[in-house]
Amino acid sequence: MSDASIAVSGLRKRFGTTLALDGMSFTVQPGQVTGFVGPNGAGKSTTMRVIVGLDAPDAGSALIGGRVYRSWRRPLCHVGALLDSGALQPSRSGRNHLLWLARSQGLPARRVDEVSALVGLEPAIRRRGGGYSLGMRQRLGIAAALLGDPPTVILDEPFNGMDPEGIVWMRGFLGSLATEGRAVLVSSHLMSELEDTADHLVIVGRGRVIADTTVSELIAAASGDRVTLRTSAGSLAVTALEGAGAAVTVTGAGTLAISGLPPEKVVAVLGANEVPFSEVSAHRATLEEAYLELTEDAVEYRAAEVTR
Amino acid sequence: MTVTQYRSAAPAGSDGFAQLVRAEWTKFRTVRGWMAGMILAGLLTVGVGLLSHGECGSQAGPSAPVVTGGPACSDPLGPGGEAVTDGLYFVHRSLGLDGSITVRVTSLTGSYSPAGASAQDLKQGVQPWSKAGIIIKSSDIAGSAYAAMMVTGSHGVRMQWDYTGDAAGLGGAVSAASPRWLRLSRSGDTITGYDSLDGTHWSVVGTATLTGLPATVPAGPFAASPDYTVVNSRSAAGGSGTGGPSQATAAFDRITLQGAGPDRTWTGTAVGGPPGGPYPVLGYRQSGGGLVVSGSGDIAPVPPSGEGSLANTLIGAFAGLIAMVVVAAMFITAEYRRGLIGVTLTASPRRGRILAAKALVVGLAAFVVGLPAAWAAPLIEDPLARSRGIFIYPVPVLTEVRVIGGTAALLAVAAVLALALGALLRRSAIAVTAVIAVIVLPYFFAVPLALLPAGAADWLLRVTPAAGFAIQQPYPAYQQVTFDYTPGNGYYPLAPWAGFAVLCAWAALALGLAVYLLRRRDA
Q: ipTM of the predicted structure?
A: 0.83
Position B385 pLDDT exceeds 90: no
Question: Quick one: A46 exposed, middle or buried, by C-beta within 10 A (0-12, 13-18, 19+)?
Answer: buried
Kindly give the interhelix angle for A94-104 and B17-29, rounded to the nearest 10 degrees.
170
Kindly give, in sequence order, each residue whose CB lies less than 8 Å from that of residue B92, ignoring residues fewer than 6 positions away: B137, B140, B218, B219, B220, B266, B267, B269
Question: pLDDT tens digits for A47-100?
Answer: 999 999 999 999 999 999 999 999 998 999 999 999 999 999 999 999 999 999
Instruction: Name the residue in chain A with its Cα closest to that of B332.
Output: A89
Of A223-237, B146-160, B273-287, B386-400, the range with the highest mean pLDDT is: B146-160
Residues B242 and B345 in one domain: no
Q: Is residue B47, in this structure, part of any structural domain at all?
A: no
Q: Which residue type sits at B442? A: P
Q: Which of A8, A163, A73, A29 is nearest to B19 (CA)?
A: A73
The angle subtended at Cα B59 by Cα B54 and Cα B61, nearest 5°, is 145
List residues bridging with A209 in a β-sheet.
A204
Query: Which CATH number do you get for residue B115?
Result: 2.60.120.200
Q: Which helix (H) or strand (E) holds B455?
A: helix B454-463
Count how many Cα atoms sit within 13 Å of the Cα of residue B4 in the half-sphere of its side chain. Answer: 3
DSSP code for A195: T
Using an 8 Å Cβ cutoff, are A254 and A234 in contact? yes
Q: How many CB atoms lie within 10 A of CB B413?
A: 25
Residue B359 CA, chain-centre distance (Å), reads: 31
Q: Which of B1, B2, B6 to mutate against chain A (most A CBs within 10 Å)?
A: B6
Of the pLDDT bands very low, low, confident and very high (cuts 50, 70, 90), residue B499 is: very high
Position B312 pLDDT exceeds 50: yes
Q: How many CB atoms lie within 10 A of CB A106?
A: 22
Asked if B428 has any chain A CB less than 8 Å from its own CB, the reply is: no
Residues B361 and B265 in one domain: no
Whole-model pTM? 0.86
Residues B353 and B284 in one domain: no
Asked if B517 has any chain A CB less than 8 Å from its own CB, the reply is: no
Of the pLDDT bands very low, low, confident and very high (cuts 50, 70, 90), residue B185 is: very high
Q: Which residue type sits at B185? A: S
Q: Which helix (H) or strand (E) holds B263?
A: none
**Domain stops at, among B265, B297, B329:** B297
Contacts of residue B519 in chain A, CB cutoff 8 Å? none
Q: Is residue B424, in this structure, part of any structural domain at all?
A: yes
- Strand, coil or helix: B207: strand
Instruction: Name the residue in chain A with its Cα closest to that of B20.
Output: A104
Residues B249 and B139 in one domain: yes
How far is the C-alpha of B510 from the C-alpha of B523, rounded, in Å? 18
Residues B243 and B319 in one domain: no
| CA A133 vs CA A130, A162, A293: distances in Å | 8, 9, 34
Instruction: Name the residue in chain B with its Cα closest to that of A180.
Output: B6
Residues B327 and B293 in one domain: no
Asked if B16 has any chain A CB less than 8 Å from its own CB, the reply is: yes
Position A1 pLDDT exceeds 50: no
Q: Is residue B161, in this structure, part of any structural domain at all?
A: yes
Using an 8 Å Cβ cutoff, are A186 and A178 in contact? no
Question: pLDDT tens digits for A99-144?
Answer: 999 999 999 999 999 999 999 999 999 999 999 999 999 999 999 9
Q: Is residue B477, in this structure, part of any structural domain at all?
A: yes
Using an 8 Å Cβ cutoff, are B261 and B94 in contact? yes
Using the Cα atoms of residue A192, residue A193, residue A198 and residue A200 in order, give the sign of their dihedral. Answer: negative
How far is the C-alpha of A134 from the C-alpha of A116, rounded, in Å? 16
Asked if B6 has any chain A CB less than 8 Å from its own CB, the reply is: yes
Lowest mean pLDDT among A272-276, A278-282, B56-60: B56-60
Q: Which helix (H) or strand (E) holds B133?
A: strand B131-137
Contacts of residue A140 in chain B, CB cutoff 8 Å? none
Residues B327 and B470 in one domain: yes
Position A206 pLDDT exceeds 80: yes
**pLDDT for position B117:** 53
DSSP code for B438: I
The angle subtended at Cα B212 by Cα B210 and Cα B216, nearest 5°, is 90
How far is the C-alpha of B8 from the C-alpha of A254, rounded, in Å? 59
Kindly give, in sequence order, each residue whose CB lies less than 8 Å from that of residue B506, ignoring residues fewer than 6 positions away: B417, B438, B464, B465
Using an 8 Å Cβ cutoff, are B365 and B49 in contact? no
The domain locations on chain A are 6-214, 225-282
Share of chain A above pLDDT 90, in %: 57
How far is the C-alpha of A281 from the C-alpha of B513, rounded, in Å? 69
Contacts of residue B522 in chain A, CB cutoff 8 Å? 49, 54-56
DSSP code for B437: I
**Residue A78 distance to chain B (closest CA, Å):** 7
Residues B286 and B325 in one domain: no
Contact A49 B348 (CB under 8 A): no
Question: Quick one: B128 exposed, middle or buried, by C-beta within 10 A (0-12, 13-18, 19+)?
Answer: middle
Question: pLDDT tens digits for B214-245?
Answer: 999 999 999 998 888 766 544 434 444 566 78
Contact B4 A181 (CB under 8 A): yes
Residues B322 and B215 in one domain: no
DSSP code for B83: B
Q: What are phi and psi of A139, to 5 degrees?
A: -65, -40
Contacts of residue A5 in chain B, CB cutoff 8 Å? 5
Contact A151 B5 (CB under 8 A): yes
Residues B261 and B156 in one domain: yes
Instruction: Name the residue in chain B with its Cα closest to that of A68.
Output: B349
Residue among A54, A149, A180 whose CB faces B523 most closely = A54
DSSP string, A124-159: GTTSBGGG--HHHHHHHHHHHHHTT--SEEEEESTT
Question: pLDDT tens digits for A134-175?
Answer: 999 999 999 999 999 999 999 999 998 889 999 999 999 999
| CA B228 vs CA B125, B270, B352: distances in Å | 10, 19, 59
Better-scored residue on pLDDT, B333 or B265: B333
How far is the C-alpha of A157 from the C-alpha of A35, rounded, in Å? 10
The angle subtended at Cα B150 by Cα B146 and Cα B151, nearest 5°, is 160
**Residue A96 distance to chain B (closest CA, Å):** 7
Residue among B5, B10, B347 whose CB faces A181 most closely = B5
Q: Is residue B321, in this structure, part of any structural domain at all?
A: yes
Residue among B6, B522, B523 whose CB faces A30 most closely = B6
Domain A225-282 part of CATH 3.30.70.100: yes
How far is the C-alpha of B33 from the C-alpha of B442, rounded, in Å? 27
CATH class of residue range A6-214: alpha beta
Question: Quick one: A99 exposed, middle or buried, by C-beta within 10 A (0-12, 13-18, 19+)?
Answer: buried
Using an 8 Å Cβ cutoff, are B263 and B47 in contact? no
Contact B4 A88 (CB under 8 A): no
**Residue B398 distance to chain A (closest CA, Å):** 40
* Structural domain that includes position B156: 88-297
Q: Which of B361, B364, B390, B365 is nearest to B378 (CA)?
A: B390
Q: Is residue B76, in this structure, part of any structural domain at all?
A: no
Q: Which residue type sits at B19? A: Q
List residues bridging with B146 in a β-sheet.
B137
Per the structure, the count of domains in chain B is: 2
Better-scored residue on pLDDT, B51 or B476: B476
Residues B349 and B466 in one domain: yes
How far is the C-alpha of B491 from the C-alpha of B236, rounded, in Å? 10
How far is the C-alpha of B149 from the C-alpha of B378, rounded, in Å? 38
Kindly give the interhelix angle for A109-118 and A134-146, rounded to the nearest 10 degrees.
130
